[in-house]
Amino acid sequence: MSKATALIALPDILVEAAVKIALEEDLGLAGDITTRATVSDCVLAKASISVREPGRIAGLQIARVAFRLLDPAVTFRTDISDGDYSKPGDTIAHLSGPAAAILTGERVALNFLSHLSGIATKTHAFVKAIEGTNAHICCTRKTTPGLRAFEKYAVRAGGGQNHRFGLYDAVLIKDNHIAAAGGVEAAVKSARAHAGHMIKIEVEVDTLEQLDELLSLPVDAVLLDNMSMAELSEAVKRIDGKIVTEASGGVSLDTVRGIAETGVDLISVGSLTHSPKALDLGLDFLS
């Protein structure tokens, strides 16, 4: 996916619930005492949100909701879409309406917009780094509590793909599951017996010997964890397209190209969501 138009918008009910929590956190019991003390309710204003460093944008819908919840009279217009590239100085949103609502909603809107745009920007850098290979970049469950759906949306805005959303939508048998279950075969057979026909099963291995044992079992994907480039290449060769291959563990922009060139299908990168740099954005009133 390279165009933001391919994105499916987040459900309004999900966005509103998260934004309400953020606004309540900021407003507390007394509301915006600074704005109430300095700005009359009848004052109207125009403002713009602009970009101060290059990056991919994500979170416009959430920013719009932040202002709408405070006052439906605030208009929020944008000429771009989530996933689009913006350069320093570009205006990504135009606002007009009651000045008080714009002032009160500014930080919540920018917090979401800057954070999610940072994720989209970082994701796109990884996607560009493996351009021309058959691999795809995907995220993990290493997300901010309460913001997973938004952060995974931002990954898609950056051109990446989503891994499972939680413990409920796919089976991923990791080393500790294997240890507790009594081995790879026992864990897989038990998982297959319990999983419905719509549930995929993936198993983590960190050695080629574990992989060989796994290949005779009914799994859909294998997570090749912290393997060297040589091991990844050999693993892909042994799998020979029979199941989906995913590489993970310490992936960086310096190593991701080499990992992709081993022939793996997916490369999961936890840092996309657990340590992105927020994109620098600003809201300014217009005279």
* Known catalytic membership, residue 200: no
- Full-model pTM: 0.95
The pLDDT assigned to 287 comes to: 81
Locate 92 and state its tokens.
Answer: 């990504």
Among residues 82, 204, 246, 265, the one annotated as catalytic is 204
The pLDDT assigned to 176 comes to: 96
Spans of all domains in the chain: 4-119+277-286, 129-274
The pLDDT assigned to 269 comes to: 98
What's the CATH code, domain 4-119+277-286? 3.90.1170.20
What's the CATH code, domain 129-274? 3.20.20.70
Segments in the chain below pLDDT 50: 1-5
The pLDDT assigned to 7 comes to: 81
Locate 32 and state its tokens.
Answer: 């915006």
The pLDDT assigned to 214 comes to: 95
* Known catalytic membership, residue 238: no
Cα torsion 236, 239, 244, 249 to 10°: value is -50
Q: Which of 48, 49, 53 is nearest to 88 (CA)?
A: 53
Among residues 142, 148, 164, 189, the one annotated as catalytic is 142
The pLDDT assigned to 1 comes to: 35
Among residues 202, 225, 246, 265, the one annotated as catalytic is 225
* Known catalytic membership, residue 174: yes
Among residues 36, 141, 174, 192, the one annotated as catalytic is 174
- Condensed to tens digits (0 to 9), the pLDDT of residues 237-253 reads 999 999 999 999 989 99
The pLDDT assigned to 78 comes to: 97
Locate 40 and state its tokens.
Answer: 């009359």
